[in-house]
Structure 1
Amino acid sequence: MSDATDLTNEALIAIRRHLHAHPELSLKEFETKAYLKGVIQAFDQTHISYREVESVPTALLVRIAGSAPQRTIGYRTDIDALPVTEATDLSFQSQNSGIMHACGHDMHMTVALGILNHFANHQPKDNLVFLFQPAEENFSGGERVYKSGALSDEFLPEEIYGLHDNPELASGVIATRLGTLFAGTTEIHVTFTGEGGHAAFPHRANDAIIAASAFVMQVQTIVSRRVDPIKGGVVTLGTFTAGTIGNVIAETAHIDGTIRGLQQDTIELIQGQVRQIAKGIGVTYGVTVDLELRQDGYLPVENNPDLTQQFITYMTQNENVDFQIVGPAMTGEDFGYLLSKIPGTMFWLGVESPYALHSSHLAPKETALEKGVQAMTGFLEWRMQQD
């Protein structure tokens, strides 16, 4: 066992601020990975080993060998940022123009480093595998890492945990629920192609805007008339692009949107309805409809019932943890893919901010860092004593 002390609150804050100032987009997190690895290599290396992922080069796996392992426990953190221009005016705000940790992944990484540091100093009973995962915001990094085969043999967790920060909860609050915590998501991308023409002669053209508008209106009936109201769902169309000038009938129109649902069968039902509507629009309006639905690894985040009940039991009984049971959220997370392969639990860490996730003003309270580390190291130590 090492005599080294765990990272102080001041050290955690310094790490978080460095990460916040140097955000990188999905699959481009090369400097982030190098920094993370450098921090970890300064820890006691007695029981630590590493694995790189050739097909996902910004991913990093770190294993701590247990003293008397009964199992291998995984912990995952995401490392990418968003294409958002920061507007916080913090002294350590983003130095990378147009890129920001607006979803709090800098907080996620720092908590993970704090947990890893603790167990580097105090060898765990069970094996621990930490996954520093790229591309949560785009490109389904969790699915990519899993399909690469990197989570195998001694690096294969038998259960896995991960957090997401929550600006609506008080700083340091731990929160989760049995069942689905986050929705699964599907991207909608659809292009309508008709025939352009002069505004004065509509009968000689085929207006793509009319067809696309009909698609918008019909899609909005899916949730209200096709989805079980007890289950619910969301279809949002966020962009509509068409035309170049007011006196020309548009030849093409393009729409982007999202599907969200708390159960995979609901998502698949909505997907099927969108396909049927797109097909019908093509026939009705005589246009070509090119529809792409992309779910990739963004499955519902379904917490394992047994492991999550153990998590809830520990957090509820720990007088040093402010724990809450929460309802499900329609936010998406590609941790859902990993949970479809490896049983585990995702939970919220409160960071108390008036601004929402993905806001250019998001400024999480750093007091949450130490509380998150302490809650999770305590849980893992307790978990390792369970049969």
Structure 2
Amino acid sequence: MPESPHEYPGPLIEQVRAAAAARTPLRIEGGNTKAFYGEPVRGEPLLIAGWSGIVSHEPSELVVTVRAGTPLAELEAVLAEQGQCLPFEPPHFAPGGTVGGMVAAGLAGPARASVGTVRDYVLGARFINGRGELLTFGGQVMKNVAGYDVSRALAGSLGQLGVITEVSLKVLPFAPAEATLVFELGQHEALEQLHRWGGQPLPINASCWVKDDTQASAPELLFVRLRGAVAAVDAACERLLREAGGTRMDNAQAGPDWAQCRDQRLPFFTASSADLCLWRLSVPQTAPVIPLPWAQLIEWQGAQRWLWAPTSAAGEIRTATAAVNGHATVFRTGADGAPGVPRFDALSPTIKAITERLRTEFDPSQIFGQPA
């Protein structure tokens, strides 16, 4: 139900109402650290970075409520003081990212395959719809939802339903123990090991297989991060090293490496040519090696695969990915902006119909998410 606008900065609601009346598009801006992601949109900027602050944090209840313009780094620092974290490891990409942008983008880091993604931790949200109404959905506790869970639908919506102003999130304590193992394995062998280990009760939290250099002599490495109880992590380390060889990394070195993987600052994520796009392939964890002629970095126990390729390869990439029941996204464009190439695969008729109904309900004047 709509709430009184006096609880929020008047200019935000007034700007949305004025835009709706004039049918003028708006472009929601927070820290702009993820502006590259998704289809380009146009409109007058609607700035949320100033609407910040942690509304409440109940460490014993594992719940935090925070305003959308709050810097993500600020929230993570407050949680860390209480030994807590956002377990899905949202990427920062650059300084200044906001909590609202984190939810709207719906992106998760290396631990996503084992702990879930952003929407799994959204308990409730407040947002301004395309009519300029302030709406509240969900709450501060996990519970069954009758009907459509709108607060979680906001995760990954890229601002197409409205302006997120506040969100309640479930948080978790830091794991008691952590270890990173590294194995020298080719892509096929690495995937086989991950598939085998995935069917066993092991505390595998994240994985990354990479070959930065396409030279035949370059090592192909699989990194596996374990998190959980001390005894469980130690036992798993002993078992995996016995089964596949490898070594255990020092956590002081591994921690920054995983952060670089999360924020795409590893050498792999530097394009060798300005005309290349960064493609993200989302596939089942058990998918085999995808026969494409470009080097790959593989995360999420096989479910997320990255590669650099030109836009002219869109058909080849999407056909190969669809063959293993996956889909391909242009995550970052090259210097030409990838004209004529959709960033995302086409939605199925069912998902497309649901998406259009939601957008019509919440933003009837279509002021959000207008293509550039």
- Shared fold per TM-score greater than 0.5: no
Larger Rg: 1
Structure 2 length normalisation: TM-score? 0.28
Structure with larger RCO (C-alpha < 8 A, sep 6+):
1
